[in-house]
Structure 1
Amino acid sequence: MHPTPEVQDLLQLGQERGYVTGDEIMTLVEEFDMTVEEIEDLYSQFFDQSIEIYEQCPVAPGGLDAIEPVLDLSIQTVTQDPLRLYLKEAGTTPLLSRDEEIDLAKRIETGDKRAKDRMIQSNLRLVISIAKNYYTQEMDLLDLIQEGNTGLIRAVDKFDYRRGFKFSTYATWWIRQAITRAIANQDRNIRIPVHMIDKINKMVRIEHKLLRETGKEPNDDDLAAELGMEPREVQEIRGIARRTTSLQSPVGEEGDAELGDFLQNMSTPDPADMVSEVLAREYLAEILMNMTPRERKVVELRFGFKGEHPRTLAEVSVRFNVSRERIRQIEAKALEQIKAALEIQALGEFT
């Protein structure tokens, strides 16, 4: 692989701080449309130079503002909806540690089918978290998840633990590729090539990034500067992304139905929102489980998790037989942990 200035810049950055993130690598992969061999060569360069690959940027503890008590961990009634059932099932398999990944990868190389199945099952939540970002009315979320699962299976087959990077970092590219190509191959009145879908996705990510950093919607000039292209190219990409088919467009194998017949019923929950809600509850539950029993109980009582009503500082202090100031300190420390974890997750979603 011929080293581009962008690759050299990322290698230098990795040498300076000791790590790069999976999303930083994915940006290069998508920008230069790298082949599988080029991607694996890129990972090897980081590995050879002892540069760690993290899923998100590490966040230093402390210095974080307290968050508003709006988190809800209550468990909703599970219906027979296939999507909700799938989410529930996917969440039952525990995530893997680095050592467990290596052990399974070794067994997979020997043809151990049970090891392969466990590697796949343990990463279904990764597929869901990626698929929900591509959900539109044009493609069912379960279909997107299924396409992502094919990418996950491919990643399991190709994964080489000896290169030193985490499986989830490696699998993300395969999952994204499978989903975006499935979207591109959907029969549509206006066909969008794969390379244009990649540009649209990249522009959306940059829009999120600039909005988060500046607090305002970026204009075409802002996006052009960030993407390294002319404003007219940004306008062209926007135009393609905005194109929609007529509500009277025939759909279906027989052409006997119209697109308008299949528009979302606004009285039902948005599947992407439902996925986000389920994943958020799972993620927050994991954060709480990493706290001390006292910190966890203080947070649950103060903010009314698990169906309880929120308690005052005075009520919680009586419960633990300590001062209100001590409860406030425990609460502040716990909220710091939650905020740090959520910021790490946000970096992964919007970078």
Structure 2
Amino acid sequence: MSAMTNPRSRPSAPAAPLLENVTASSFPTRHPSWLRCDELAQPLAEIRHQLQQTESLDIEQVRARTKWRLRHEINFMGSERFRSLREGKRIFALPLGLADRHSAPGSAQGRPTGSELPIHLGRLCEAALLEPDQEEQLFERMNYLRQQAAIHRTILNPERPSRSRLELIDLYLALAQWHRDRILEANLRLVFSIVKKFVTPNHSFDELLSDGIIALIRSVEKFDFERGFRFSTYATQVVRRNAYRTVVLLQQERERMIGGAQDMELNISNEDRCSAISEKRWHELRSRLGGMLGNLDRREKFIIRSRFSLGSHRRVHTLQSLANRLGVSKERVRQLERRAMDKLRLMARTNDLAELER
């Protein structure tokens, strides 16, 4: 293992040098022999239904698919040795030896001891942990397949679209995703164990779990297996940092919404300002405030959101900065803000929003 002490992934290898000097003759569209190896028999059987054949498409549809593919880059952790088709024979020669994914439902295999998760969530943790060599093989296969797909993507030409090349790219990417999913399944319990530590009455487990899984997917995309570190070491940092950021952002949003309610002359207690509002009351408050903002005109809505840092606005904007944006005077912005606040106060009384305080 590397002597380095910081288990960060290196930036993805620059794609351009790895995709240079690629020609249609050097990378033909016929399937390489390693695609027929025993190791890919199961993945191929499972992904067949995902693949779209192009034979039924007319030439304009094939051209449109080619343009779509060229607009979407293929990300991978590249290697010079992955340019060789012969490398595929070596990579897929050794058996992975993964545990059967279709074991009996509800099996406790792999489930964390003492888990209090519901059955439907507990089953997500039943995939067996990966051995170090299995983990390395999965990452190597995934990135090799993606680099091969990216190589063929550079050869695509909308003026002379190739059905067989489009299908080969789709095949490589589907196989790469199959290998990626095996990595995700084996590491879901890591996400569960991290995010449950951030759960509070105001931050639900489901919400944190959803964000945690997205963070896990991002970490798979960026992890460099050749550095010699276990994936769990890197993923733990990514998922934990993401969970902390999610909690902070939710707390900031909650405080902004409570502040907005106070400015509409709603009586929010000190206890509620300390984030003691229940989830149900909080979501209803946010929903009603969002609905009332929708009744403002475009400029009023923009000013209120900017002044109270709501929605996509992450900081409070000054009257002058808004005046510059809208092309009006500072005093005009103040008038529009006052008019919008009067409308919101009237809507709050009409909608009996203060009942949320009970």
Question: With structure 1 as the length reference, what TM-score do the two structures score?
Answer: 0.35
Larger radius of gyration: 2
Say which structure, 1 or 2, has more relative contact order (CA 8 Å, 6+ apart): 1
